[in-house]
Structure 1
Amino acid sequence: MDFTFTEDQVAFRDSMSRFLMTEAAPEMLREVWETDSGRSAELRAKIAEQGLTGLSVPEAEGGLGLGDIDWALMTQELGYYAIPDSLADTAYVAVGVLTALPVGHALRAQWLPTVVDGSARIAVGHPVNPWVADAHMADLMLLSRRTGQGTLALHALPRQAMRLAPLPSIDASRRLSNVDWSPMPHSCFAEGATAQQAWDAALDRGAINAAGQLVGLAQRMLDLSVDYVAQRKQFGKPIGSFQAVKHHLADVATKIEFAKPVLYRAAAALAQGDPHRAAMVSHAKLACGDAAWTAGRKGIQVHGAMGYTWEVDLQMFMKRAWVLDAAWGDRAFHKARLAETLFNPGAPLGPAATLQSCKHG
């Protein structure tokens, strides 16, 4: 299996990393999160100028026309710099639902250009998430409901049609709401098999989005921990020179390196419409979540109790990892999806399935 990214993919990722390093420093993010909305319109506009909001939008509608594999790189950068995850909910998950509609569909034609220029936020109220992220800022919300015949129907409604109840989160950057709503005339935009297919893909994209951010968070926590142990001294020596500390951080590095190919394989399966993509996505969510949890736990061990405090950057990334681990399906959900495939008589197991030819770039 070839996980080599193209020069264009790597260049775009690197340019986004340099941009976010400057525009999304921890000090700036703290200031944004302490505002009432917890969001920065200025930062959102700058991100749109870089092309990230239009990454998945077809070129004919003003976007870059890229896909799932490209997002596997971008979501790691969003995690590394702790950019609010609702950005990818709009630009990746919601855009995926809209682009599944026929070209010329009114909803698609109206909203995709506004996503590209960064002027619109779209929240996705998928049943797998008990609460909706950034519903308080959404210009449009995508929701689902079963019809009287038991089929799935997708609805698109403006925020003004919602009844929102804000809910606190351990992550200061995460703004959640309980959403109460009722269908409106003409709010249904897809129904039946079409709706189910789009909603299943939204779940997989949401889980891949969270998984990629978890890998980025794990890498940031590892980098912060390495910097800290190189400076902190005990007995006249940097604590990073102690073997026990080295082992802690080596465990994190190993988890990250084992999670990345699982993430990329799942992204490739999603891009190619692999029939077993649900299991691969769930595997990625579990592996990436494990890497982030390990990075947070080991980071706290090498930082000591001060790692929990507001003044230390580690806590920002650790808390984000905790909440994203449960977003778009918690561990129990993804273990169940993975088990359903693995215990099936036709499960894709063995070298022939694992090492099949799969061009990534």
Structure 2
Amino acid sequence: MDFTFTDDQLTFREAISRFLMTEAAPEMLREIWETDAGRSADLRGKIAEQGLTALSVPEHYGGLGMDDVAWSLMTQELGYYAIPDSLADTAYVITGLLNGLSADHPLKASLLPRIAEGSVRMAIGHPINPLVPDAPMAEWLILAQGDEVHAVPREQVEVQANASIDASRRLGQVSWNPGPETRVVAGEEGRALWAETLNRGALSVAGQLLGLAQRILDLSVDYVAQRKQFGKPIGSFQAVKHHLADIASKIEFAKPVLYRAAYALAKGEQGADVYVSQAKLACCDASWLAARHGIQVHGAMGYTWEVDLQMFMKRVWSLDPSWGDRAMHKSRVAAYVLSDQARLGPGATFEE
């Protein structure tokens, strides 16, 4: 099978990258993160104007109607430019959950157009995540009670703020009282929605981690080209070259794994769980190695607030266990690989 991105997907990615390059520079993000809210309504509005929040909203609700494959490119850009993961939670993960509801469900008509235009901030609390990103400032929260999916207004939720090593994250521990008025779906339908949402959340984080790994690599390459020892740029030393080459290799090996998982999720393939877990693990490995080698080539100054590296390195650390830690995703992959139904090898990558 010839798997290639469409011209629309690649053009949209390029446009978003150019936009974030100027509107989300590290010095601008630092100023935003140092405010009490840690968010910029102006930046959020500009991102919405670019169409990112409308990416997977159906066209009849004012969106672009793209799928998980397009988001596998967009989440990399969000990671590369350190955009808070809550934007992807609303525009990608929550939108995917709402798209999974019945066509006539009133929640779709009330929320999807607002997501597309960027006028609503939402948060999602899956049972696998103990804390909810952006819960303190969300207008609506999508929360779980067993197999039930609940849409809860912010005024009905108590949020206890929780600090993060990542200065951009605004995490909260939520408490609330579920009731019939907040219940969206339950039973088998709710269980299926939460399972798909877990996959979509893990894929979202995987893409962001891959973008973070690439940003750390680019920062490290720039740094070692300028930093000198013994009269030479440290990038000319073989040990430093090996560190950076290892990161680049991990990134290149993780990309097709991410794209395969996005394709499986978009097509509703039966083995999507395994592909998503494999992608999460591959992208975690790439970003973790990038963070470790990045700080090694920068030295101790890489931890300081003034150096850009720390912004992306801390984001890697904080996102790594989100939407399922490594043990959980390894167990899903192992259960498949060791089963009698496992289809392994290059010939089993795509069905004809």
Bin of the TM-score, shorter chain as denominator length: over 0.9
Shift of 1:103: 2.1
Other-structure match for 2:207: 212
2:335 is equivalent to residue 340 of structure 1: yes
Moved more, 189-198 or 219-228: 189-198
Quick one: which amino acid aligns to residue 76 of structure 1? Q
Q: Secondary structure at the match of 1:326?
A: coil
Which 5+ residue runs of structure 1 have no aligned equivalent? 147-151
Question: Over residues 187-242 of structure 1, what are the superposed CA-to-partner deviations in whole Å (9 max), with x where a residue is unaligned?
Answer: 11101111111111110010000000001000000000000000000111111111
1-side partners of 2:74 and 2:226: how far apart? 31
Moved more, 19-28 or 328-337: 328-337
Contact 1:124–1:132 (CA under 8 A) maintained in structure 2: yes
Quick one: which amino acid aligns to residue 20 of structure 1? L
Q: Secondary structure at the match of 2:53?
A: coil
Shift of 1:356: 4.1
Question: Over residues 304-356 of structure 1, what are the superposed CA-to-partner deviations in whole Å (9 max), with x where a residue is unaligned?
Answer: 11111111000000000111111111111111111111111101213331254
Contact 1:3–1:264 (CA under 8 A) maintained in structure 2: no
Other-structure match for 1:263: 258
Other-structure match for 1:71: 71
2:84 is equivalent to residue 84 of structure 1: yes
Quick one: which amino acid aligns to residue 217 of structure 1? L
Q: Secondary structure at the match of 1:112?
A: helix
Out of 237, 246, 258, which is 2:241 matched to? 246
Other-structure match for 1:149: none
Other-structure match for 2:284: 289
Other-structure match for 1:226: 221
Q: List aligned pairs for 1:110-189, cutoff 5 A.
A: 110-146=110-146, 152-189=147-184
2-side partners of 1:199 and 1:101: how far apart? 12
Quick one: which amino acid aligns to residue 17 of structure 1? S
Other-structure match for 2:231: 236
2-side partners of 1:192 and 1:353: how far apart? 34
Which 5+ residue runs of structure 2 have no aligned equivalent? none
Q: Secondary structure at the match of 1:170?
A: coil
1-side partners of 2:126 and 2:42: how far apart? 28
Other-structure match for 2:48: 48
Quick one: which amino acid aligns to residue 190 of structure 1? V
Q: Secondary structure at the match of 1:160?
A: helix
Structure 1's consecutive aligned runs of 4 or more residues displaced over 2 angstroms after TM superposition are 354-357
Quick one: which amino acid aligns to residue 74 of structure 1? M
TM-score relative to the length of structure 2: 0.98
1-side partners of 2:286 and 2:150: how far apart? 36
2:8 is equivalent to residue 20 of structure 1: no
TM-score relative to the length of structure 1: 0.96
Shift of 1:145: 1.0
1-side partners of 2:92 and 2:192: how far apart? 16
